[in-house]
Structure 1
Amino acid sequence: MFSSIFVPVLVAAAIAGAPDALPVSRAQAPAEENAPTLALEPLLAAVVERNPDLVALDAQRAAALDRAIAAGSLPHPMLGFAIRNLPVDTFSFTDDMMTMKEVMLRQQFPWFGKRELRREAVEQNAKLAEAEKASQALLLRQATTDAYANLWLSTSSVRLVEEQQQALERFRVIARGRYAAGGGSQSDLLRADVELARITDPLLELEEMETAARAALATLLHRPLASFEGSPAAPPLPALPADPAPLYARIEAHPELRALGEQAERSEIEARLALRDRWPDPEVGVMWGFRTDMPDMVGAEVMFQIPVFAGSKENRLAAASRSEARSALLQRESRADTLLGEARTAWAAAKRQRDLIRLYDEEIVPRAERNVQSAIGSYQAGSVDFLTLLDAQVQLQAQQLEALRARANYVRQLARLARATGVSLFDESLAAPEVDRG
């Protein structure tokens, strides 16, 4: 009976997600001897600093800024040396007055505006890397919150199961005393033993959940697994705002949308640069030549490319870049709608879990506790059987587990809401004084 109620609770706890700024229940409070050494807020800050993916995006941004400076610089000048009019019969530098030794210097000058456009196009890659980092940080914070919620849920559930073991041990003592006094039956003792044996399986499931959560945190924060051996503190439960419209409005500044906007802007710059490339870059050269026993000579030249194939080259490149810009803007529009839908779903789910937390804390769990106390007295008085007493205790634990699950789910849904809207999980916009923090 115990496992039939407990196991579905655990399975659902591993899948679901959401809670709000609500008072801490007695089931949440850790024992003083198991003082928590892990907290959610420092982990959320650390994941942004330590995660290798974010460090890599920082390196990409720095590389793009360096490339932007290089892209906007002038081409290297060219220095050349030449021998002209050397007679092939003697290969002498002095026999013919036309034989000349030359030193040449050439420099290409990009057409007006090309250097700026090239620099701006590459700078967009740095802005894109910055937006991608912010977007990745939101995903990592959500994953960290999910792992922490699982860790806290598993360790808190273990404490409840251990309390259940202690309660069943007390019930067995009561049953044994009543049986010794001639008021009970041997079957009561057998039922107590069976329920105690069934507790082993959910404890194994909880151990698996806890191990997976600690491993996930170690991976996300790029730290040794031993760094996460402590007991987790109860996660903070910010209040859910009554009006989610301000949160939804902030989706327009979401890093994912900003990244798509940067892609569109880069493509537009590349289109303008392709059209500007139809204008040839002049190449200016000067030379100095000297001849034996004759006056030295100087010269200058200007060379231009002839844009004969602009229709099949620069124009096509510009059209392709503008198509990419339109594609990025359409993706941005679609992604904005998706994020808005995800935010609305997360807010509704968080609101449901918030209401569940209140219901469990204010009505269901206190009522189940009273039922247990009443069942104990009735059993000792002989007015109810032992099975009724066991059922009351199992129901109490099941409701306490559901209360824990609602809190963990609430935290998960707030993390989803934060990722979908692009705000910090503990942003002040979420801290409406709607619910007493307790």
Structure 2
Amino acid sequence: MTYALQTAALATLLILGAPARALAEESLPGASVEPLLTLARAHNPDYASMRFEAQAATERIAPAGALMDPKFRVEWMDVTQAGSQAPTLWPNDVGSTKYTLMQDLPWFGKRDLKQNIAAQEAQASQGKAQGSWAELAARVKTTHAQRYYLHNTQKLTLELLDLTTRLAKVAQVRYAGGLAMQQDAIRAQLEQTAMQTELVALQSESRQVDARLNALLARPSNAALAAPERLRPLPVAAKLNPDTLMARVEHSNPQLFSEASRIKSAELGRELSLKNRYPDFTLAITPTQMRNRITEWSLMLEINIPLQQASRRAQEREAQAMLDAATARRAAMANQLLSELSENLAGFDAAQNTEKLATSSQLPQAELTFQAALAGYENGKLDFATLLDAQRQVRQAKQAQLKAQLEAQMRLADIEKLLGEEL
């Protein structure tokens, strides 16, 4: 094969392979947060366990209101026919056989109360599952924002490392020409080493964050992830009205929803404890067989006598205490959640303002300072230390941008976790 044919074949392979590589990269999760949330909802085992627990609680509703299974009793009377025969259980050969069918019946309304209590417990479990998802979604969103921050910080460090390398060459040229001291070249090399060390730390932290994200998605810890390309858009200011959000937390927060269901369950439990003052019943019907025919029919009514009033009063006081505890717990939780909402709203506003200042003021000023310092150093008017300080200011301004974006995303994730829904 000639050199020209080999070159053409190689070019063809590269052209054909590029779309395949691009497709493989696109199929990996991690570029944006939405596919990550879909994977977490489908595969996270903790959330799956909470869903199954909620399903199990729902299945308890029907049995809670069902009657107890009936009981069947058989009694053989005079199995030896007054000693005239060997013992037998055959109905035609004994004196008589009684068949009793019994059914336990609770006092009126108890079954409905038990079923309603189970329904409220099922709603509390569903709220707990929703809270588990809100917590999981917030962790996924936060981890994605951390990946975005680390990825772009590495890019920024690489850019500045390349710039520092060019500055080191300028310092070496000036030193060779007798226009600068050797110390300038040494400082540039020290700056390069510091950035390379920081890159190692950033790469290590990125691998740790990737492992945490894969764990949330129930993937192997070293599974490949796409590079984070974008953050979620931030909501407009109209959606962040504190009064509106507080009302939404009161209405939609999964934890408060669960606690409200537990309060209703405790109220029904107190009502059930009062019903226990009244007796339960047992009804029975008894046909009696003699030889090969039914000769008698009997009915039976059994009532338990609720004499242990001290025990029942203690149960009623327990039910009232459980209700008071559930009410106080919900009030405490509401106060805590509203406090967290206020903190996160304040942090979100601060992050947005910080990003605006870094973008509109700090970064342009730092870049102008660096350009002026670079020109001054090339002209011999400024020393190399001043040039490095100007470079660090540019870096700090860009890092302030990234940190503010990360902080805003983390605060937004926490706000949505408190709401139990996305803004």
Give % identity. 24
Distance 2:149 2:167 in 1: 26
Aligned residue number for residue 270 of structure 2: 271
Counterpart contact for 2:30–2:36, Cα < 8 Å: no
Q: How far 1:147 moved relative to its partner?
A: 1.5
**Match 2:417 to one of 416, 419, 431:** 419
Closer, same or farther: CA 293–234 of 1 in aligned 2, 3 Å = closer
**Match 2:174 to one of 175, 178, 186:** 178
**Matched ranges for 1:403-414 at <5 A:** 403-414=401-412
Give the length in aligned residue pairs. 390
Q: Structure 1 residues 206-215 or 219-228, which shifts more?
A: 219-228
SS at match of 1:231: coil
Q: For 1:366, give the aligned amino acid.
A: P
Aligned residue number for residue 252 of structure 1: 250
Q: Structure 1 residues 265-274 or 399-408, which shifts more?
A: 265-274
Closer, same or farther: CA 339–295 of 1 in aligned 2, 3 Å = closer
SS at match of 2:103: strand
Q: How far 1:71 moved relative to its partner?
A: 1.6
RMSD: 2.4
Q: How far 1:299 moved relative to its partner?
A: 1.4
Is 1:348–2:341 an aligned residue pair? no
TM-score, reference length from structure 1: 0.83
Closer, same or farther: CA 348–295 of 1 in aligned 2, 3 Å = closer
Deviations 1:191-237 (A, max 9, x none): 11111111132222212321221111112221223445321123123
Q: Structure 1 residues 332-341 or 106-115, which shifts more?
A: 106-115
Q: How far 1:342 moved relative to its partner?
A: 0.8
Counterpart contact for 2:212–2:221, Cα < 8 Å: no
Distance 1:165 1:343 in 2: 41
Q: How far 1:163 moved relative to its partner?
A: 0.8
Aligned residue number for residue 72 of structure 2: 79
Distance 1:98 1:382 in 2: 126
Distance 1:295 1:332 in 2: 62
Q: How far 1:354 moved relative to its partner?
A: 0.4
Aligned residue number for residue 231 of structure 2: 235
Q: How far 1:88 moved relative to its partner?
A: 5.9
Closer, same or farther: CA 276–261 of 1 in aligned 2, 3 Å = same
Aligned residue number for residue 399 of structure 1: 397
Distance 2:112 2:268 in 1: 10
Q: How far 1:48 moved relative to its partner?
A: 3.0
**Match 1:49 to one of 34, 42, 47:** 42
**Match 2:379 to one of 381, 384, 388:** 381
Q: How far 1:91 moved relative to its partner?
A: 5.5
Q: Structure 1 residues 233-242 or 82-91, which shifts more?
A: 82-91
Q: How far 1:239 moved relative to its partner?
A: 3.3
SS at match of 1:83: strand
Q: Structure 1 residues 293-302 or 142-151, which shifts more?
A: 293-302
Aligned residue number for residue 109 of structure 2: 113
Aligned residue number for residue 335 of structure 1: 333
Counterpart contact for 1:38–1:228, Cα < 8 Å: no
Q: For 2:359, give the aligned amino acid.
A: D
Is 1:64–2:60 an aligned residue pair? no
Distance 2:187 2:247 in 1: 58
Closer, same or farther: CA 37–268 of 1 in aligned 2, 3 Å = closer
Counterpart contact for 2:76–2:94, Cα < 8 Å: no
SS at match of 1:308: coil
Q: How far 1:160 moved relative to its partner?
A: 0.8
**Matched ranges for 1:72-221 at <5 A:** 72-86=65-79, 89-90=83-84, 99-221=95-217
SS at match of 1:296: strand
Distance 2:418 2:59 in 1: 32
TM-score, reference length from structure 2: 0.86
Q: Structure 1 residues 273-282 or 339-348, which shifts more?
A: 273-282
Q: For 2:46, give the aligned amino acid.
A: D
Q: How far 1:122 moved relative to its partner?
A: 1.4
Distance 1:103 1:278 in 2: 32
Distance 1:55 1:127 in 2: 17
